[in-house]
Amino acid sequence: MAVDGLHQFELVEKMGFVRMSGTEEERRAAQILVDEIEAMGVSADTRTFEVKDGTVIKAVFEVIAPERKEYTVTGYKCAGCTKEGGEDYDFIYIEQFDEINLRNARGKFALINGRATADVYRKMLDAGVAGFMTMGGTVKDTLEDSDLDTRKMRESLTKLGLMPAFHIRMTDALEILKSGATRVHIELKTKNHVHISQNVVAEIKGTKYPDEIVAFGAHYDSVEFSYGVWDNAAGSVTIMEILRHFTKNPPARTVRFIWFGSEEVGLLGSHAYVDSLTNAEAAKHVFMVNCDVGGSILGSNGAHITADESLCKYVEYMAKELGYSTSVRQGVMSSDSVPFADRGIPAINFARGGGQGMGFMHTRYDMISLISAEALAVVTDFAVAFSDRLVNAVIFPVPREIPKNIKDELDKYLGRAPQK
């Protein structure tokens, strides 16, 4: 089969500019996809949706004891505001969210280790944390070679409750901990507003089972400062090649391709798509293939199965058969397959992770010099072979159900209390 990796690479390069949710650049990237789809003789549909967003008007963070020092921070968009003029708090570092670390957190401002996932956020709210700060970059960064991005508090978090939140460079966080900071002054002022983002949708009707839909998804937006070639122009071109394959090989089932906008601010494109489906339409979706991160020269392939465990074996056998090196694990991946799985639609996620020394997701170092046509083609070849089998299967082999362990993981990911 052998897809044209060079063509994929050129499309990745063409999309390699910062294209944040709701911006003119995101719209420009959507148009590049539309042009590519239409050049294949397939019609493309651009579907807009509203995004709740915010602006940070003021973000101040100062250590006031034992010594005073102000640090450059960014505030989280859509986070809770402090009162005008700011507030003072005792300071705590939470390296792990266990009872030991959380027992003394009430009414304090916390520097936290890792991301503020819904699970972590809920634990902080329950423990009475007054506000928090995440760290970005590495301790090796200098001011010149690192960017401090402005993060957004996802709706899955804000619906649980509000608190002020900040983001700081790792080098500064290290200095704060070394200085033995005990008390801090914070001020955050944000303003919420709405902007427009879009999904790009293309479809080929099935020749035998037109009422059964296999969905293919990839997000095409990126974050501030990031060219987003690995994450995720690569996945965008992977599903483009799968579409190209089905233009030449008419599928038995309907194949629908969705390039999602605004994934990076809370999977909003995929949520908008799934929310737009009636129950009858959702029931027609038998499966979803999601591609997020790919093309890195140094890297390794992974398949994350958000479906019945039997699919893990299927993929492992197929990988052996075709000589495709990949890790296979069952679980939830933080990507656009989540809203599908939450609606009962099982999914697989194809990814090519960054290799050793290459964890550059969401930074200015997610750049084209680290991507190759060969690395793009190897994953795409397998994704095409896998998709072709599934789409044309006599009996669709993946049970259309989400196993209990995945449901529990989804609850955790989406910040819901576990269902008893």
Q: Which residue, 12 or 173, has its beta carbon nearer to Zn ion?
A: 12
| Interaction of residue 232 with Zn ion, rule CB under 5 A | yes
| Per-residue x/- track, 363-402, Zn ion (CB under 5 A) | ----------------------------------------
Using the structure block, give the residue that is written with the tokens 């010594």: 67
* Span near Zn ion by CB under 5 A; candidates 4-12, 152-160, 291-299, 339-347: 291-299
Rounded Cα distance between 191 and 24, Å, is: 21
What's the min distance (Å) between Cβ of 78 and Zn ion? 20
| Interaction of residue 336 with Zn ion, rule CB under 5 A | no
Residues 17-36 interacting with Zn ion (rule: CB under 5 A): none
Residues 99-118 interacting with Zn ion (rule: CB under 5 A): none
Q: Which residue, 238 or 254, has its beta carbon nearer to Zn ion?
A: 238
Rounded Cα distance between 366 and 228, Å, is: 6
| Interaction of residue 292 with Zn ion, rule CB under 5 A | yes
Pair 247, 204: CB distance under 8 Å:
yes
What's the min distance (Å) between Cβ of 292 and Zn ion? 4
Pair 255, 216: CB distance under 8 Å:
yes
| Interaction of residue 308 with Zn ion, rule CB under 5 A | no
Element (H, E) at 88: strand 87-94
The SS3 of residue 399 is coil
Say how many residues make up the chain: 420
Q: Which residue, 236 or 254, has its beta carbon nearer to Zn ion?
A: 236
What's the min distance (Å) between Cβ of 230 and Zn ion? 9
Could you give phi then psi for residue 21, rounded to 5 degrees?
-45, 125
Q: Which residue, 366 or 381, has its beta carbon nearer to Zn ion?
A: 366
Q: What is the dihedral of CA 98, 99, 103, 106, to 10 degrees?
A: 60
Element (H, E) at 306: strand 299-306
Q: Which residue, 89 or 413, has its beta carbon nearer to Zn ion?
A: 413
Q: Which residues have CB under 8 Å from 72's CB, separation 6+?
A: 148, 168, 169, 172
Pair 236, 26: CB distance under 8 Å:
no
Q: Which residue, 232 or 387, has its beta carbon nearer to Zn ion?
A: 232
* Span near Zn ion by CB under 5 A; candidates 19-27, 89-97, 116-124, 290-298: 290-298
Rounded Cα distance between 188 and 80, Å, is: 8
* Span near Zn ion by CB under 5 A; candidates 4-12, 238-246, 286-294, 349-357: 286-294
* Span near Zn ion by CB under 5 A; candidates 23-31, 61-69, 285-293, 373-381: 285-293
What's the min distance (Å) between Cβ of 258 and Zn ion? 14
What's the min distance (Å) between Cβ of 221 and Zn ion? 9
Both tokens of 305, joined, read: 């199965």
Q: Which residue, 61 or 260, has its beta carbon nearer to Zn ion?
A: 260
Question: Residue ranges of the alpha helices (H) in 75-169?
Answer: 99-102, 118-127, 155-158
* Span near Zn ion by CB under 5 A; candidates 50-58, 130-138, 224-232, 272-280: 224-232
Among 231, 366, 381, 409, which residue interacts with Zn ion (rule: CB under 5 A)?
231
Rounded Cα distance between 345 and 342, Å, is: 7
# chain residues binding Zn ion, by CB under 5 A = 3
Residue 416: what residue type? R
Q: Which residue, 232 or 330, has its beta carbon nearer to Zn ion?
A: 232
CA 13 to chain centre: 20
Q: Which residue, 162 or 298, has its beta carbon nearer to Zn ion?
A: 298
280: alpha, beta or left? (left if phi > 0; alpha if psi -120 to 50)? alpha
Pair 134, 170: CB distance under 8 Å:
no
* Span near Zn ion by CB under 5 A; candidates 108-116, 177-185, 228-236, 270-278: 228-236
Q: Which residue, 349 or 392, has its beta carbon nearer to Zn ion?
A: 349
* Span near Zn ion by CB under 5 A; candidates 133-141, 223-231, 316-324, 402-410: 223-231
Partner residues linked to 190 by β-bridges: 56
| Residues of the shown chain interacting with Zn ion in the complex, contacts defined by CB under 5 A | 231-232, 292
